[in-house]
Structure 1
Amino acid sequence: MSWRKGDDVASRPWRGRVRDYDLFKELTIGLVVVGLLVLSLSAIFRSPDDPGVTLKSWATAAPSDFVATATAELGGTSDTAGYGPPYNATPDATQKLWFIDLQSLSGIRLPIDTASDFVLNPLKTLPTPPPALAQWSAASAEQQAKWTAAYTEALAAVPTGDPAQVMSGNYGPVPALTQALLSMAASGNLDGVLQNAGEPYNLDYTPTVLFLGDGTYFPNLASTAHLTGDQWGVMNETGNTPGQSWLWLFSLLYQIEPFKSSANADILVVSTMLVLSLLLTLLPFIPGLRALPRKIPVHRLIWKDYYRQR
């Protein structure tokens, strides 16, 4: 339609139906009514907002598990102690993609000695360090391993894992060290020592998370909340986070073969996702794949109104 002077649509008188419009009522409904509805539904269907798990809460809720984990850290038998790069140089601990060992290529960037970093050094920060530290330091590595192995076996023999019910044996200073660390954690001091690591504003929670992950208390909490990634069709979140819906494809690969039973599952899943992401990025340039939308016109079903008008 051509535009001519004097033919301005906005200047023409309106000859259609006219009715009153209450802007205040619309504003009231839009803000108050909808706001109350959103708040009500949020209160009913909200996601859980559980408090953060700390070493203090762990030591208070599951002291037996804490002592068993501290013993494993002392003996170097925990998951973290045998993880390999970037924490330590444990032989044959890395995941490989054929002959490619990306984990070793990263190097040991975050060196962690579980006995020193999780148990001994924190105990040294106490106003009165336990005398058992001197006995431990004076012993050979072989003797230390014997002590921790014997105490681990003794704890496992107790049905409840309660250190107070462990039969007497040659455990050296291990019971005294783990009990001192338990008391330190229960008071809340261990959280601050591990997290701060001598820096006043350190936000690196790596040591705390690794220590928590070596026990069974933290994984059991995740399992109870269905956050282990093996529950299909449900996306869970806790706290003020948007959830992990973007991780569904990663989780899916972990549930199927050959990823599910592979010792190199992590590197295989990440590599597969990189290949899929690259294919998606290059989709417009790959002959055959770029023609799929024309051969399988799913988009016409999604935007059927648009194509119907055309």
Structure 2
Amino acid sequence: MNSPPTAPTSEASRLPARLHPASLAVSPAPRPGFTAGLRALLHGFGFILGNPAVWPLALVPMVVVLVSASLLGWTAISFVPEQVRTLLGAHAEGILAKVVEVIATGVALLVAVLLGLALAQPLSGPALERIVRRVEQQMGAPVWPATSVLEDVLRSLQSMLVPYMVGLPILVALFLLNLVFPPAVVVTFPLKLILTAFMVAWDLGDYPQSIRGVSISQRLTFMARHPAAMLGFGAGLVLLGLVPCLLLLVLPAGVAGAARLTVQLERWEASRSEGPKLPG
């Protein structure tokens, strides 16, 4: 006996019985993490190296570093040996005195280089600010009102002072702990690396928001919401800064990468606040 013909199955009848339109919503993107911070920094280097139009701006911090370090180094060489001989007095002759003189001069030269690097950011603030604007323009971010040269310099100085005022005392405390209890180096060494990465991440990663006039408390809160991304960004800066040929590019490439990362994090936060969306 033949069975009665069945009605054609509709497309809707083949869908699961409990399928709800909300289940078709696109899941929000995952929070940008460590690798996002590292990739943003690499994009910053790519942006500087691949855009000849920004090379004059990128050269500004390099020139500031070279000029500042050279002047400070010349001062150290002219001043330190004489002061060492004065301090040693009657003991200023002999091999040991010469060794002390060479070591003191070498330390002074190292300090001169570090000071040159530290001065490069505030003194080249206007050029770095323009690099940030170029990156944001490329990414389609909103255009912010122009600022004066003095505002750029003071803002850069403020951004530089905050991490050192907070981080340096902690680094000194960890160093003293190593002297008192050497086995603690197993814990203090990675802590110092992480702290240094966060200090560097704030130093440059804070720059895009600071040029908009965002308060320090809001900038700190923003970075605290994305510790993994900031750690990846800072760790990349520390590692690439150890490469001699890349050291002078760290400032311009760093602020370019920071601008990119800031826009990415702000867009991610905006997508979270808007909630899930239906496709199409």
Same fold by TM-score, threshold 0.5 exceeded? no
TM-score (norm 1): 0.21
Q: Which has the higher contact order (CA 8 A, sep 6+)?
A: 2
